[in-house]
Amino acid sequence: MTGNVGEWSELYTLFKLLADGKLYAADADTNKIPDIYYDVLKVIRAQGNDTLEYCRTAEVKVINAGNGEEICSIPIASFVEQTDKLLAGLKAKKNTKGAFELPEVWGFAESIKCKTLKAKSQDKADIRLMVHDIMSGRDDTFGFSIKSQLGSPSTLFNASGATNFTYKVIGHKLTDDEINTFHEFKKFKDKFDFLASKGADIEFVETDNKTLDFNLKMVMTEMPAVFAEMIKYYYQGKSHSISELTDMVAEAGIISTLDNKVFLRHKSKEMLTNIALGMVPNTMWTGDYEATGGYIIVKDDGDVVCYHIYNHNAFKNYMYANTRFDTPSKSKHGFGNIYEVDGQQYLKLNVQIRFVK
């Protein structure tokens, strides 16, 4: 079995939670909150056509959820040992690009009937847990999305042809030579500095994909225009930070409220939360969360903490403070070139959102 750091981190989370038996909450800076935790009663995992339950008591029993059959029983000490081995392997491979093997660890995974490293890509919930909430005294099952800090920063919002935004060139119509010069610049900041030197700017026209446009408008009607302006500022080289770009747009006065910064900070946090827990660009967003528990973070020291939707403020503040824009492939997604339609010049921009770490 081969996988990248993020994929192996999902298996690490399985091992770690079964080894420790507790999932701790985190504050907005990913610091563990010692007094807030959830007892892990079972981990539920789809394996091929079967759903397996890894039930944690004095040991870990693997149960076929379909027929209730006990498949095997493993000492908790084995999960502690394998967690340490997997963490050492991940740290050794931290700078490795692409997929790699960890044969000894995978051998143990196979012995507990694991067939895959990660959940299906279309499912925002990477792991499902039954936990006991000491605050409410209830046992509940939740789906969590897993993000690992052990490798390169994870992507939150993936770029595709569905994430293009169209702008029109205003202030100055570029000549053919000026368009060629614009295209020759490698860095987008240089491209936009060149446009400014010619008295030109760009103005948002539309979100190319109507489903994404709808999804953004589920946050607020003006969100496509606000998001597009954040993208524009990013490519102008003003910042890559979601929080900083939000404040810049608020100061620009695209919307008019009693306090633009307070309002747009809230709306950006709502948008990021929607993306984190279920919203994808090319599927209509109904407002229902797929990752019903929240986020699990695998920290770079191997600790595992969570942002539960019960602790909504810490979760949305974490998302807001720890996300940034990134530039996807221009050739793959078809953006970055000025073109003309019926005498009007246009430019498409595209973006993806990554975690800071």
Q: Which of 44, 116, 78, 35 is nearest to 311 (CA)?
A: 35
Q: Is there a contact between 298 and 147 (Cβ–Cβ < 8 Å)? A: yes
pTM assigned to the model: 0.83
What pLDDT sits at residue 124? 67
Total residues found in the chain within this entry: 357
- Residue reference for tokens 């491979």: 93
- Please tell me the least confidently modeled range out of 32-36, 133-137, 237-241, 287-291: 133-137
Residue 346 DSSP SS3? strand
Q: How many helices (H) and strands (E) does the chain have?
A: 11, 18
What pLDDT sits at residue 138? 81
What pLDDT sits at residue 287? 86
For 187, residues 6+ apart whose C-beta sits below 8 A from its C-beta are: 237
Alpha helices, H only, the chain: 5-20, 76-92, 103-111, 176-184, 188-197, 210-217, 223-235, 242-252, 260-277, 312-321, 330-333
Dihedral of alpha carbons 239, 244, 249, 251, sign: negative
What pLDDT sits at residue 153? 83
Cα 231 from Cα 242, distance rounded (Å): 10
Over residues 81-90, the mean pLDDT reads 94
pLDDT-based confidence at residue 211 (cuts at 50, 70, 90): very high
Q: What are the backbone angles phi and psi of residue 300, rounded to the nearest 5°?
A: -70, -15
How distant, in Å, are the alpha carbons of 47, 64, 219, 323 from that of 21? 22, 20, 37, 30
Over residues 288-307, the mean pLDDT reads 85
pLDDT-based confidence at residue 135 (cuts at 50, 70, 90): low
In sequence order, the β-bridge partners of residue 352 are 326
Q: Is there a contact between 294 and 315 (Cβ–Cβ < 8 Å)? A: yes
How distant, in Å, are the alpha carbons of 2, 143, 223, 299 from that of 105? 11, 25, 45, 20
Cα 201 from Cα 253, distance rounded (Å): 17
Q: Is there a contact between 130 and 44 (Cβ–Cβ < 8 Å)? A: yes
State pLDDT tens for residues 53-70: 999 999 999 999 989 999
> 219: which 2 tokens?
């946050």
Under DSSP, the state recorded for 128 is E
In sequence order, the β-bridge partners of residue 33 are 25
